[in-house]
Structure 1
């Protein structure tokens, strides 16, 4: 699913709300001005000025209102810091964490952390553990059943 974020002035967001009037949702997420659902895209505008477009038609829909905001220098800095991980990180005992949700659109943020001892890495690789974006739900459930007691 594609996500596009535009940063707009509040008067522009008011104009967008009028434009999407027939698609408005009856319930707005916390911190939002409006939420709308078109046939190809969900749109949520926030008091911060950010407007989130989600769905298969998000690029086309957001293009009606301008170009996406450029990544901030802090986002670039975070990205460059990832390149400074130790070269042997895949063979080290590590604790990793990840989250789902954003707190403002999907509801509460859920965070999980896990410790993997380096002695367990070959077994986890054999079971097919990798980035969840590269696995389907069926495979994730299958792996979870095998590793839950490890």
Structure 2
């Protein structure tokens, strides 16, 4: 389904919400959701907050009508990001992070964060990227270097011995995971100067509230969305 995305300031975001007579969402469990609405032509419109109080993202999903709906509010077509996400839920500019090695007694726990832009979707499809559980080990070994050379990314890890030490100190695996995800995201953002309003998708392993508690004050300012089986929904994951 074709999707269009625009970035607007607070005044314009509230104007769009009022246009659709959408109720502003004020739910601590959904800190980045601003509003949602459906047009008579069945275009889904969703507004998202960012960490910046004057920067908002509005997403229009609904086939060919999505861009037309976005143009009601932004006349300059160059300011509208249009893409077909295919089986992904979102293929706009994004960061994502996922882990491997959880439950592996002898190996390290590893988290990689990556940066994705819409123009890279065709390459991902051609390479055959999908859930690693659906790929053979041999195929993953082949794809790894190719993906690393094409995508901005950052990988962090903790050894099995260090992980055991954390557990002995009364810290959970989820505490370690949250710290690793946050560290990988911060290093990626700092290295490539990624803006604060780029959404981060995390393969969910615990409730968002617990993740934020475990990550602590070091969390990046970008909006973060948690999704189970995130690799099936977002190309950056």
Please, what TM-score do these two structures have when normalized by structure 2?
0.32
The answer to which structure, 1 or 2, has the higher relative contact order (CA under 8 A, 6+ apart) is: 2
Please, what TM-score do these two structures have when normalized by structure 1?
0.48
